[in-house]
Structure 1
């Protein structure tokens, strides 16, 4: 069992898991997050969820893990967007056609 599975849901339908009771968090709180998202973080529905956005806005820097720098960005209406990543750093990009 990984430390991600040690956390308990306060609400079985929640997207955020409370990890504070896990053994890994108690031993290494500076490495393991207090809370984490139960859904795939690449999920666009999660990234646009009003509750997730509110948590990031309210917690500001406290919403970040060691290597995270979360920001809320506004994408203009009608723009098709995607999440791009390079060396672990993510950004929102407009979708374009690509060929290879």
Structure 2
């Protein structure tokens, strides 16, 4: 199942700098491992924001839920999840050329 996930990060300004650096480093390692496994095939930065728009390819809602809750930055995020379905006009999935 594919999901588009918008993540807005709001780390408190008064968070200890060492905790902040450690959390961000763990977040990067966690997300890159999921990318290598093909679970997190797309991640884009939202220009001018501490946000990203990502696509997850997971088995079901529960797997996505567990992945999101496992994000080290999860306590500092607002997350919006949108389930995705194939579009009948998408030439990449229908095999039709323009």
TM-score using structure 2 length: 0.28
- Answer 1 or 2: which has greater strand percent: 2
TM-score (norm 1): 0.28
More relative contact order, 1 or 2 (CA 8 Å, 6+ apart) = 2
Whose helix fraction is larger, Structure 1's or Structure 2's? 2
